[in-house]
Amino acid sequence: MEIVRRPWMSRSAWWVLCAWVIMLSLIAPALNLMLPPEHPLHLSDYAVALTGKIMCYAICALAMDLIWGYAGILSLGHGLFFALGGYVMGMYLMRQIGLDGNYKSPLPDFMVFLDWKELPWHWYFSHHFGAPLLLVVVVPGLVAAVFGYFAFRSRIKGVYFSIITQALTFAAMLLFFRNETGFGGNNGFTDFKRIVDQPIHLPETRMVLFVLTGLTLLAFFVFSRWLIASKYGRVLQAIRDAENRVMFLGYSPLGYKLSIWVISAVMCGVAGALYVPQVGIINPGEMSPAQSIEIAIWTAVGGRGTLLGPIVGAFLVNGAKSWLTVTAPEFWLYFLGALFIAVTLYFPQGLVGWLQQRMNRQHTEERP
- DSSP secondary structure letters along 64-120: HHHHHTTT----S-HHHHHHHHHHHHHHHHHHHTGGGSTT--SS-HHHHHTT--S--
Which pLDDT score, from 0 to 100, does residue 2 have?
A: 39
Task: Reply yes or no on whether the pLDDT at 56 is more than 60.
Answer: yes
Spell out a b/e string for 93-111, using b for 16 or more CB atoms within 10 Å of the CB, else e: bbbbbeeebeeeeebbbbb
Q: Where are the beta strands (DSSP E) in the chain?
A: 189-190, 194-195, 198-199, 281-282
Which pLDDT score, from 0 to 100, does residue 85 have?
A: 96
Give the CA distances from residue 354 to residues 120, 273, 299, in Å, rounded to whole numbers and listed in that order: 51, 33, 14
pLDDT (mean) for 287-301: 92
Least confident range of 40-44, 65-69, 211-215, 356-360: 356-360
Task: Reply yes or no on whether the pLDDT at 1 is more than 50.
Answer: no
pLDDT (mean) for 282-303: 92
pLDDT confidence of 368, banded at 50, 70, 90? low
**292 neighbors 169 (Cβ within 8 angstroms):** yes
Residue spans per domain, the chain: 10-43, 55-295
The overall average pLDDT reported for the chain is 89
pLDDT confidence of 336, banded at 50, 70, 90? confident
Task: Reply yes or no on whether the pLDDT at 275 is more than 90.
Answer: yes
Range picked from 1-10, 91-100, 351-360 for highest mean pLDDT = 91-100
Which pLDDT score, from 0 to 100, does residue 103 have?
A: 87
Strand partners, 194: 199
Per-residue model confidence as pLDDT tens digits over 140-176:
999 999 999 999 999 998 899 999 999 999 999 999 9
**27 neighbors 243 (Cβ within 8 angstroms):** no
Which pLDDT score, from 0 to 100, does residue 344 have?
A: 81
Task: Reply yes or no on whether the pLDDT at 347 is more than 60.
Answer: yes
Task: Reply yes or no on whether the pLDDT at 292 is more than 60.
Answer: yes
Q: What is the amino acid identity at position 139?
A: V
DSSP 182: S
Strand partners, 198: 195
pLDDT (mean) for 32-41: 88
Least confident range of 23-32, 68-77, 219-228, 231-240: 23-32
Task: Reply yes or no on whether the pLDDT at 24 is more than 90.
Answer: no
221-225, long-range: CB < 8 A, 24+ apart: 221/62, 221/307, 221/308, 221/311, 222/9, 222/17, 224/62, 224/65, 224/66, 224/307, 225/8, 225/9, 225/307
Q: How many CB atoms neighbour CB 40 within 10 A? A: 5
Task: Reply yes or no on whether the pLDDT at 113 is more than 50.
Answer: yes
pLDDT (mean) for 329-338: 83
Task: Reply yes or no on whether the pLDDT at 3 is more than 60.
Answer: no
Q: How many CB atoms neighbour CB 78 within 10 A? A: 30
SS3 209: helix
The share of the chain scoring above pLDDT 70, in percent, equals 95
Which pLDDT score, from 0 to 100, does residue 284 have?
A: 94
